Structure formats: structure tokens, C-alpha cells
Amino acid sequence: MDHSWSANWFNEKFIREGDLNKSYHLFQLQDISEFPGLIASHPELRGLNVTIPYKEKVIPFLDELDSTAGSIGAVNTILIERAGGKIHTRGFNTDAPGFLQSLSGLDLPGQALILGTGGASKAVAWALTRLNIRFACVSRQKRGKDILSYQELTPDIISRYPFIVNTTPAGMYPEVDTCPSIPYHLLTGNHFLYDLVYNPGETLFIKQGKSMNAMTMNGLQMLFNQAELSWKIFLSNG
């Protein structure tokens, strides 16, 4: 579970770095409208990470976005600055550079399918654009000419877009028996399947890819990368 991983990782990081007066806690909101109350009722808060489904929904509640988060339209890290009785919140996106870093040194196909259209999908699109990789997004429902439906994934499409990135929660623990509805039987050894899900380490999406000799990768390295970037942002706030 991402929430448990984050708490353990950051608290262990505080100990290793000697910041024994700092700690990382979990806050579960029933609705994003509870966000302002969370900030106001916890004056010790200096930063937050944001998870699904609030990476886009939290933006209207923030005072400022950095350029990356602004261009992506999704936030997963928030810096909370308090001075003179005033609170200033600034949103960042470390998912996108974390994903980009995880691809370093790989020989990547030139065209990709991004499965999903949420905040994580936007972060992946940002990274692929910087790698000059053309991409198309895939959604459960057809939404305009720029977003394909799963029913439109013909043999030609699967052949022309060999890099396939799952940004949906399909297959994430505890729903380990689920996976995106792509035609796995059309995959070959020329395909590369990347699953942003990291728990379990080998999702059904990845298992299906391996069965067709595709190259595969889970989201663990991206998770490490984005956590380190979030840590640096939090550190800037003292």
C-alpha cells in the first residue's frame, strides 16, 4: 500500500538524516473539500504528498503551482509555508521527473500508449514529450479524437505503439487479479510494458507481458525517485 510505504520511507529517512524532530503521518480524506480544514487544524504541517484520486482535484485549493505541476495539471507534493499568521501552499509534481529518471539509459520505442487519463497519465505524458516519444492515451470510454478506447486497440495500433504504460490502479493490491483490458495476445518481444503500480511487484499486467516475451518494468524505481524529489522539496522548508 502506497500510504504505508511512504510513511515508513520518510520516517526512516528522517532518522538517517538526524532530523529526529520531524515525522511523516497519514491523513485520509473522505472528500477533497476537507483539505483546507486539514491544513488549518494541523499547524505543524510543513508538507504533504497527494495520492489518487486527489492529484488534480487539490489544485483549486492551492495558492501556487511550480512550472512543472502547472504544465501537467496534477500535483503530488505540496509545500506549506507559514509566516506571520498566514499560510501559503505551493504544489509540485515529482511523479513526472521520477518517471523520467526511471527510464534513463533504456533504449525506448518511439511511440507509446498511455493507459489511463488521470493525474498519473498526465505526468507520464509530460515525461514522454521530453523524450520525443509520440503517444496516445487510452480510456475505458472514447473521448474525442485524441483518446482511444480499449475497443480500438487493433493489431495495427498495438504494433505501432510498442511502449505501453499503465497509469491506472488496475492490478494494485488488493485487486491483484485485475489488469487493463488490452489484447495481450498481440504483444511480442518488441514490446515494453511499464506498470506504475509497484504493489504487487509483478502485476497481472506485467505477467501477461512476460508471457509474450515483452520487456517489463514496475513502478518501484519511479516511486523511489519521486520520494527523493519530494524530500528535497520538504527540506527546503526547514
* Tens-place pLDDT, residues 184-213: 999 999 999 999 999 999 999 999 999 999
Read off φ and ψ for residue 130, nearest 5 degrees: -75, -20
How far is it, in rounded angstroms, from Cα 66 to Cα 57? Answer: 16
Q: Specify the CATH number for the domain of residue 43.
A: 3.40.50.10860
Indicate whether 32 pLDDT > 90: yes
Residues 17 and 65 in one domain: yes
Q: Residue 19 half-sphere exposure, CB side, CA atoms within 13 Å?
A: 13
How far is it, in rounded angstroms, from Cα 110 to Cα 163? Answer: 8
Residues 212 and 100 in one domain: yes
pTM of the model: 0.92
- Per-residue pLDDT, 1: 41
Q: Specify the CATH number for the domain of residue 151.
A: 3.40.50.720
pLDDT tens, position by position, 61-90: 999 999 999 999 999 999 999 999 899 999
The neighbour count for residue 190, using CB atoms within 10 Å, is: 12
Residues 136 and 214 in one domain: yes
Segments forming the whole domain that contains residue 58: 2-94+223-235
Residues 154 and 175 in one domain: yes
Residues 129 and 204 in one domain: yes
DSSP string over 185-220: GG--TT-EEEES--SSSS-HHHHHHHHTT-EEE-SH
pLDDT tens, position by position, 132-182: 999 999 998 877 677 999 999 999 999 999 999 999 999 999 999 999 999
How far is it, in rounded angstroms, from Cα 1 to Cα 172? Answer: 8
Enzyme catalytic residues: 55
Residues 36 and 137 in one domain: no
Indicate whether 58 pLDDT > 70: yes
